[in-house]
Chain A
């Protein structure tokens, strides 16, 4: 099987991730719950992981690194902390349901800045025009459907100047693109551990500039006499037992990323994306959403078959041993912005561990299927 669905979950992990998970299951208890050796080993593991994340994302203190179950969990905390019920929020037209559903649940009014796909100037013009009416801004760094890299640095600067709090959804960029939390000045950055960071499923991270409103209430291993959650991070947002095995795996994956650097991951994924796009461009009856310019697209490529449904192409590829994802990818807003809401797309997404030979085979299978009609 050739796995080309890393935008959903990384399947190929750096060496050491599986062993770290196993070691944690065998030897670690829960951080902040006692001072015996297994509890302290868990605490050490979690702290090391916070330090690694601080280093990778330029976070001033490890206490500002909060563990979540996934990016959605972190986004819910961030949105609930900054957006009032019925509040007005600026979002990009490329958001995932992890952003739009929590906003909908709050009855928020969305001010959408979209523009054409791969047109960052147009997006920024729309964002600047709508920003004065917004009380907060939520923006994805990279579209999970199209790999479109949004101009997050420029948007962050607009927000800083206007004094508007910014939440960044780094689900598709963490581990792949440079992200300087301190320089961006965002209020929150949410990310999963199991995509570009290449850790296990069930891990996530929320980087916090200041404190936030808890989403879950319960034991934190601190200030136990109080019935309110502690005021300080990370305890305020980490009620209940941590996913220590997952965090141990994430830490092993981060060791790989810190050693190799996100620039090398990005370069590798770009090389693979160009191969894939070049090959698929020769296929019959296939529309590619390909930017061409490296700065505008991550390792995600959506395509739209002209003579068959996306689901049929996805299933045929699956039968041929190529794992891709077809449909709306939980991002109907992004599809509306691109004009693909009626069909969805077939999404190919690469990992630094994919090989050119794998992509050659995926392209060949795709051409064969489309040739059959």
Chain B
């Protein structure tokens, strides 16, 4: 299963993905489902569930801001993950 770490923009998501890749965490930029952000379109980075803690630590270390984190279920459903 995958988790989505929300970022405030496409550019922020791209920066986050690059940092994660450098930290050895496979991450891809993805458009977040509308239900994840009532403010409108947003992007995030998708990481494997098993990599979430490592990913968040890498982003915090690099000082990259991120938003809420969601677990993405195979049917497309989302559930917020407390971090």
Contact = CB atoms under 8 A, between A and B. Distances in A.
Nearest to A219: B41
B9 A32 contact: yes
A235 B39 contact: no
Contact of B41 (A50, A223, A232): A223
A46 B10 CA distance: 10
Interface in B36-83: 38-43
Given A34-B31, A63-B15, A224 B9 contact: no
Interface of B is mostly: mixed
A234 B11 contact: yes
Which size class do B's interface residues fall under? 10 to 19
Given A35-B31, A224-B40, A230 B11 contact: no
Contact of A226 (B10, B11, B14, B39): B39
Contacts of B25: none
Nearest to B38: A225
Given A32-B43, A43-B14, A61-B15, A222 B8 contact: yes
Contacts of B31: 34-35
Q: Which of B11, B40, B41 has the most CB of A within 10 A?
A: B11
Interface in A210-242: 220-226, 230, 232, 234-235
A40 interface: yes
A235 B9 contact: yes
Given A34-B31, A35-B31, A40-B29, A63 B12 contact: yes
Interface in A51-72: 51, 61-63
Contacts of B42: 222-223
A200 interface: no
Nearest to B30: A35
A171 to B, nearest CB: 24
A63 B11 contact: yes
B40 A222 contact: yes
Contacts of B14: 43-44, 47, 62
A196 interface: no
B29 A43 contact: yes
A31 interface: yes
B11 A62 contact: yes
Nearest to A236: B9
A133 B8 CA distance: 39
A222 B41 contact: yes
Contacts of B38: 225
B15 A232 contact: no
Nearest to A220: B9
A7 B8 CA distance: 38
B65 to A, nearest CB: 9
A234 B11 CA distance: 8
Contact of B10 (A31, A61, A225): A31
Contacts of B41: 32, 221-224
A242 to B, nearest CB: 11
Given A47-B11, A222-B8, A222-B42, 15 more contacts: A35-B31, A47-B18, A61-B15, A63-B9, A221-B9, A221-B10, A222-B9, A222-B10, A222-B43, A223-B39, A224-B39, A225-B38, A230-B9, A232-B8, A232-B12
Interface of B: 8-12, 14-15, 18, 29-31, 38-43
Q: Which 7 A-B pairs have the closest CB atoms?
A: A224-B40, A225-B40, A32-B10, A35-B31, A47-B14, A224-B41, A222-B9
